Chains A and B, each alone.
Chain A
Amino acid sequence: MKFTHTATVAASRDRVWAKLMDIPAAARCVPGVASVRAAGSDKYLGTLAVQVGPVRLVLDGDLVVTARDEKAGTASVKADAKDSRVGGAIRATMALHLSEKEDETELRIATDLAVMGRIGEFGQAVIKRKADQLMQDFADCLARQVMR
């Protein structure tokens, strides 16, 4: 499943970059994320809780920054997480891209999401809608925080 999200921030590219690369702080912008902590260079451990109707998923996993190029304003992030109670896992690769436009910065996130195991029982359509909401909330929250 592929999605692209964008958010425009009224701040310089440098400021948005700094915010984005402070992973534990940036991750708190994802609704449902708890306890993100560093585990080595460019690797983080964390938990994401997602509610779909009566079903609550608690996804435990790690996030790795696989590439970053400050000059180009691009970074790649890979996240792997599983819910051991329900029995299912997700893998997401995200390509982040910042581009400066006059006095604003556009944040673009291209996500490729794979869902494995029982979580897939919800159906692709519902998962897609949920992931879509999550990423858009993340982009919007990050934009708000930088402007503060």
Chain B
Amino acid sequence: MSYDYHEPHSLDDALALLTRFGDDGHLMAGGTATVLLMRQGLLRPAHVVSLRTIDGLSGIARTPQGGLRIGAMATHRAVERSDAARGYSPALVDAFASVATVRIRNQATVGGNLAHADPAQDPPPMLAALNATITVRSPRGERTEAVETLAVDHFTTSLSHDEVITSVLLPPILPGTREVYLKFLPQTADDYATVSVAATLRFADDATVADVRIVLGAVGPTTIRAKRVEDALRGARPTPERIRDAAALVRDEVDPLDDLRGSADYKREMARVWTERALAALTR
């Protein structure tokens, strides 16, 4: 396997290289996913364009409005250890801290995570539940996209080959909101999720649910937003019975595959169980 490795010092230079190489070029951030695909022989780029020598892409800071901005080149470990991230949402930190092992988290970046688009990854459901958007640069300019709609299929996003994620923006969290990330790991502690559930819930003054967002990982070709479960709870008092009934609706929203982590039926059932647990944790 031989390829040319490029280390541009600005985003514009990186974009120019990607444009020049077209299908022969491949972007690399932490390299944890890309190097694996190259070792397996599935990916054989003639040119690898690294983002690591570009300054200014790895900051993590609160926004003046009370949100959080994470640079695309921030590592998982940096998010996990960031006071700004923890101050914004401990559940977000939990999601990043759930990824693989410390060695992977030291290397893997937030942008690489989102672009890799394996539906079993941990951060994407939590970012989507928190209504995060990404900023994307290309030779055509800048655009934003919701994390919720970024992945379109297994390992496939709406990004074209000359688009680079530069940052992730999380909006301010309204007062009264609770968040949780649960990862079901029946096998080993550093495995991918069998099912994961990220949820946020905000109570109104009268103790009814003012708003709720539930996003599941590992149970479909992309992360799955459980809209029917959300609708069954919004405006209602979240009693244990109502939570149980609402969580049962998730079985028809997920679309899992049989694999070594379990049958599709088993995962459907686990999606129900873990959705109920997430909602119970948020309303306790």
Bound complex: CA of A130 vs CA of B116, how far in Å?
A: 17
Task: Determine if B259 and A55 form an interchain contact, defined as CB atoms under 8 angstroms apart.
Answer: no
Interface size on B, residues (CB 8 A): 18
Contact A123 to B117, CB < 8 A, known contacts A52-B154, A55-B43, A87-B41: no
Q: Which of B37, B221, B257 contacts A55 (CB 8 A)?
A: B37
A54 to B118, CA, bound (A): 12
CB contact between B154 and one of A85, A86, A87, A126 (< 8 Å): that residue:
A126
Report the Cα distance A53→B121, complex, angstroms.
15
The contact string, 1 if C-beta is below 8 Å from chain A, for chain B 12-53, is 000000000001001000000010010011111000000000
Say yes or no: is A118 at the interface (Cβ < 8 Å to chain B). Answer: yes
B-facing residues in A46-73 (Cβ within 8 Å): 51-56
Q: How large is the interface on A (under 10, 10 to 19, 20 to 34, 35 or more residues)?
A: 10 to 19
Check B258–A86 contact: CB distance below 8 A: no
Q: A53-B156, A54-B155, A126-B154 are in contact. Are A86 and B257 (CB under 8 A)?
A: no
The interface residues of chain B lying within 8 Å CB-to-CB of A148 are none
Within 8 A of A (CB), among B103-138: 116-117
User: Total number of A-B contacts with CB less than 8 angstroms?
Assistant: 43
B41-79 interface bits toward A, Cβ cutoff 8 Å, 1 = contact, 0 = none: 111100000000000000000000000000000000000
Q: Which residues of B contact A125 (CB under 8 A)?
A: 257-259
Contact in complex: A121, B154 (CB < 8 Å): no
Q: Which of A86-133 contact B (CB under 8 A)?
A: 86-87, 118, 121-126, 128-130
Q: Which residues of B sit under 8 angstroms from A121, Cβ to Cβ?
A: 40, 42
By beta carbon, the residue of chain A nearest B42 is A55
Most buried by A among B42, B257, B258: B42
Tell me the bound Cα distance from A51 to B152 in angstroms.
13
B43 / chain A contacts, CB cutoff of 8 Å: 54-55
- Measured CB to CB, the closest approach of chain B to A85, in angstroms, equals 6
Chain B residues with CB below 8 A from A122, complex form: 42
Give the Cβ gap from B232 to chain A, nearest Cβ, in Å.
29
A86-B41, A118-B42 in contact; A53/B258 too (CB < 8 A)? no
Contact of B155 among A53, A86, A87, A124 (CB under 8 A): A53
A125 to B117, CA, bound (A): 15
Which residue, of B43, B154, B156, has the highest number of chain A Cβ atoms within 10 A? B154
**Considering only CB atoms, which chain A residue lies closest to B161 in the complex?**
A54
The answer to whether A53 and B117 touch across the interface, beta carbons within 8 angstroms, is yes
CB distance from B52 to the nearest CB of A (A): 18
B257 lies within 8 A of A54 (CB)? no
Closest to A133 in B: B153
Interface string of B210-251 (1 = CB under 8 A from A): 000000000001000000000000000000000000000000
- Separation of A56 and B43 alpha carbons in the complex (Å): 8
Q: How far is the CB of A59 from chain B (nearest CB, A)?
A: 14
Q: How far is the CA of A128 from the CA of B23 in the complex (A)?
A: 26
Find residues 34-49 in chain A having any chain B CB closer than 8 Å to their own CB: none
With A53-B154, A53-B155, A53-B156 as contacts: A129 and B257 at CB distance below 8 Å: yes
Cβ A128 vs Cβ B41 within 8 A: no
Question: A125 → chain B, closest Cβ, in Å?
Answer: 4
By Cβ-Cβ distance, the 3 closest A-B pairs, closest first, are: A53-B155, A125-B257, A125-B259
10 sampled A-B residue pairs with Cβ under 8 A: A53-B154, A53-B155, A53-B156, A54-B26, A54-B37, A54-B43, A55-B37, A121-B42, A125-B259, A126-B155
